[in-house]
Amino acid sequence: MRRLLLLAAHAPLLLGAAGPIDRPALVTRHNPVIRRVDPDATLTVGNGGFAFGADITGLQTFATYYQQQGVPAETLSRWCWVNDANPNHYTLAAANTAFTLPDGRVLGFPTRSSSPAGDWLRKNPRNHPLGQLALEWIKADGSAFVPADIQQPEQTLDLWRGIITSRYQLGGVPVTVTTACAPDSDTLAVRIESALVASGKLRVRLAFPRGHDLAVKNTPGLDWSHPESHTSQLVTSHQIARHVLSTDYFVASSRDVTATAPHTFLITGDAGQAVLAFTLKFSPQSAPAVSAPAAVLAASAAHWEKFWRETAAVDFTGSTDPRARKLEERIVLSRYLMAVQCAGDMPPQETGLTCSTWYGKHHTEMIWWHTAPFALWGNDALLEKNLAWFQAQLPAARALAASRGLKGARWAKMTGPEMRESPGGNPLIIWNQPHLIYLAELLYRNSPKPATLARYRDLVLETADCLATMVTWNEAKQQYDLGPPLWIAQEIYDQATSRNPSFELAYWRWTLGVAQQWRERLGLPRDAHWDHVIAHLAPLPQKDGRYVALGSTPDTFDNIASRHDHPTMLAPLGLLPGGPDVDRATMGRTLDAVLQTWDWETKIWGWDYPMIAMTAARLGRPETAIEILLRDGPNNIYLPNGHCPQRSDVALDRNAKPGAPRREIAVYLPANGSFLSAVALMVAGWDGAPRATPGLPDDGTWTVRAEGLKPLP
C-alpha cells in the first residue's frame, strides 16, 4: 500500500514520525539550471501583474533570437494598454451577423472579425510591451554581441527567493548578473558584477519599441518601426516619460540614464567599479522615487519564502515510480509560474506576462484554469484579486445581458480591461458563464463565513440569473435547451445550429444548484425558475452508450473530423463532480473511446490532458489518470522553465521540414493551471472520494506527503 501522509498547513502532524515537509528542499531541488543558450529556457521574475523575462544573460540581450526560436523575453504588465485612433467610430453593431434564436427572434452578434470594424475592435485595446533591457558588450573587434559569445553559462532561478543568477564569460572574463522583481511594485532590480563593467566595456541598454507586430496574432515580435509615432523623453536624469498612442507611462531608475538615440538609453557603471547595480520602476504615474537594488532583492526573498512556507505542498520523496519526480517538478514550477503571471489588476491572457496572444485580451473561459488552483493550493488572495476585476465589471456585464434580452450578468469572452466583447466566434461561446459561481464556491468552501457570502453574493446570483435566462423552453420535448446560436467548448461545430452541448448542460445544472445553495445560505428562498430549469434541462446527449459533444450533431465517435479540439464530453465527471444526470458507466465508455480514438495529432490543447486525467481519477482509474497527465503528447511537452508551448495545426516552423507544425503559442498558462487542479483532485480527492489520494496508483510505488491541499467538490 502507498505510504500516505496528509497534513494540513500549520496544523499538528497527523503522522508525526515523518515530520513536516522540508519546504526549502522540496522547492529548490527543482530550481531551473540552464547551461547553454537555450531559447526554450527564458526565466521569469514578477509579482503577478508585472513580469520580466530573462534570456541567458539575465537580461533581454538576445530577445529577438529567443522570440524567433522559442520563448520570448519581454517586460509586460496588466495595466499598460494602448488604443489606436477610431476616426470611423467603429462599434460592435458594425460587426454583427444576424442569428435566429429558438423563440424566433433575430438578434445580431458581432462575429465578423475580418470586417473593418471587427478588425479594429479585436486589436483595440491591446497590451503594450514596457521596454527591453539588454547588455551591451563593446568587443575589441567591433563586431556584434551574439549568442555564440556566451561562454560557460550557468543560470539558475532560485525559486525559494524568486531571484535569477546568471554566470558566464565574455571573452574569457567572468560576468555575474542577478535579476529580481519587487513583490509590491513593478520594480526590477539588476546587479552586474564583472571586470568588464569596471573597464567600461559592459553596460546596459534600455530601449522602447512601438509595440508588438500586429501582423502576428500569437507570439508576435516587437515592432521597432516608425520611431516618430511614439515618444520617450528623459525628463530627469532618473526618469523617462513614455507616450504611445493613447497611453502614458513612466520608467524611473535608481541610477543616471543617458539618452543615446530616439527611444534608446544607457545605464553605465562607475569607472574602476566592477559592480553596476540599479532598479527600474515601471508605472502609469510619475514615480521618481525607487527602491535600492538590495532592498528589492531582500523583499523578493522574503515574499517567496512566505509563499512557499504558508501554502500547500506535495512531496513524493521515497516514491519508486519514476514519474513521481516529473510530477513533483511540474507542480513546483507551475505554482511559481501561476503566481508570477496570473494575479494582476486584470485577469491574465493565456500567455500570462511572457508574451502577447490575441492582443493581450483575457479569455474569460480560461479563468477557471487560471485561478481555481489558487483556492486549491492555499492562495485564496490571488483568486480574490482576479474576482475583484469581475466584480468591478458587473455594470458592463449587466448591460451586455440586457442587450441580449437576458437577466443578470453576461460575461464577455475575449476582452480587454473594459469588458467589451471582441468580434469573432467569441460572443457565441458560453462555457465561460458559470465559472464565477464555481470559483466563488471554492472560496466559500475555504472560508464558510457570512463575509464570503456577502462579498460574492451579487457575482453569484446575477451570473445565475443570466444562466437561467440563456435557456429556451422546448414545448415539444418539455425541456429547456441551450442554443442556438452558440459555439460549444469544442470549437468545431456550426454556430447557427448547435444545440445542447453535453459539458455546458452539465455545467448549467450544477452551478444553478450551487447558486440555490448560496440563496439558502443567505437566508433567501430558492428561486422557483432556477429549480424549474434544473429539473427540466435537456439530458446530456449520448449515442451508442457514450456521451457525445453535441445533441444536435451527435457524431463525436462516428466522424474523425469531430474528434479533435477539446473532448469536453468528459468534463461533467471530472472538472464537475457529476450528479444524477451523469451515468458513471456511460462516462467510463466515453473515456475509453476518447483514449482509443481521439485525433491527438490534429489539435489538442494543454488543458485537455489534465481534464481527461480528472475524469479518469473520478472513475477510479488512477493509472490512466497519471499516464495521461504526464504523457509526452502534442501540446503537453513542458520546457525547462516549466512552460507548456502550444503548436499550430497548420502553420510551418521557420526551421522545420515542410508540413511540420510550428509553435503558435510560446507558453500557455491554462496548461499549468489545469495541471495543478488535476493534481489537487488526484491527491486531495473530492467530496465523498472512496480513499485518500484517489488519483494515484495504489501499487506500493508512491509515497505521498501533502500539506494544506484542498479537495474539490
Residue 225 and residue 436: Cα distance in Å, rounded?
41
Round to whole Å and give the CA distance between 185 and 285. Answer: 12
**Is cis: bond before 125, omega within 30 of 0?**
yes
- As separate numbers, helices (DSSP H) first and strands (DSSP E) second, the chain gives 17, 33
Residue 13 has pLDDT above 80, yes or no: no
User: Each residue of 156-166: pLDDT tens digit?
Assistant: 999 999 999 99
Residue 180 belongs to what H/E stretch?
strand 173-181
Residue type, 70: G
Q: Are 582 and 540 in contact (CB under 8 A)?
A: yes
Is this model's pTM higher than 0.85 or not? yes
CB 557 within 8 Å of CB 597 = yes
Nearest by Cα to 706 from 677, 676, 680: 680
Task: Specify the amino acid at residue 176.
Answer: T
Q: Which three cell numbers stand for residue 546?
A: 457514450
Whole-angstrom distance, CA of residue 697 vs CA of residue 338: 27
| Confidence at 289, pLDDT banded by 50, 70, 90 | confident
DSSP line for 201-251: -EEEEEE--SEE-TT-SBS--EE---GGGEEEEEEETTEEEEEETTEEEEE
Residue 541 CA to residue 506 CA, distance in Å, equals 10
Query: Cα angle at 512 between 606 and 398, to 5 degrees?
Result: 85
Residues 6+ apart with CB under 8 A from 375: 383, 439, 442, 443, 445, 446, 710
What digits encode the pLDDT tens for the residues 587-630? 999 999 999 999 998 889 999 999 999 999 999 999 999 999 99
Residues 392-421: tens digit of each pLDDT: 999 999 999 999 999 999 999 999 999 999
Per the listing, cell 508525526 goes with: 16
pLDDT score, position 683: 98
**What average pLDDT score do residues 657-670 get?**
75
DSSP track, 504-529: HHHHHHHHHHHHHHHHHHTTPPPPHH
Find all residues with CB under 8 Å of 278, minimum gap 6, and list them: 189, 190, 204, 253, 254, 255, 267, 293
DSSP classification of residue 176: E
**Band (649; pLDDT cuts 50, 70, 90):** low
- Tell which wins on pLDDT, 637 or 3: 637
Query: What's at 616, amino acid-wise?
Result: A
Q: What is the DSSP letter of 407?
A: S
The yes-or-no verdict on residue 16 having pLDDT over 90 is no
Task: Please state the φ and ψ torsions of residue 400, each to the nearest 5 degrees.
Answer: -65, -45
pLDDT above 70 (res 355): yes
- In this predicted structure, the answer to whether residue 657 has a pLDDT above a threshold of 50 is no
Q: Which fold has domain 34-84+124-298?
A: Beta-galactosidase; Chain A, domain 5 (2.70.98)
The mean per-residue pLDDT over the stretch 59-73 comes to 97
What are the DSSP calls for 634-658, one per residue? TT-PPPTTS---EEEEEEE-TTSPT
Nearest to 30 by CA among 692, 663, 713, 641: 641
Exposure string for 605-642, b = 16+ CB within 10 A, e = fewer: bbbbbbbbbbbbbbbebbebbbbbbbeeebbbbbbbbb
Q: Indicate the Cα dihedral angle 12, 14, 16, 20, nearest 10°.
A: -60
Q: Calculate mean pLDDT across residues 703-712.
A: 98
Dihedrals φ, ψ of 474, to 5°?
Answer: -100, 100
Count of positions (residues) in the chain: 713
What mean pLDDT value characterizes the chain? 95
**Taking 90 as the threshold, does the pLDDT of residue 449 lie above it?**
yes
CA distances from 129 to 73, 78, 79, 207, 354 (A): 11, 10, 11, 11, 10
Sign (positive or negative) of CA dihedral 231, 227, 126, 368: negative
Q: Between β-strands 3-7 and 703-707, what pairing exists: parallel, antiparallel or unpaired?
A: parallel
pLDDT tens readout for residues 238-274: 999 999 998 999 999 999 999 999 999 999 999 999 9
> How confident is the model at residue 661, as a pLDDT?
53
Question: Across-strand partners of 165?
Answer: 156, 178
Q: Annotate 55-99 with DSSP letters as a single string.
A: -TTSSSTTHHHHHHHS----EEESS-EE----TT---GGGGEEEE
> What pLDDT was estimated at residue 662?
65
Residues 6+ apart with CB under 8 A from 295: none
SS3 for 675? helix
C-alpha cell at 549: 459533444
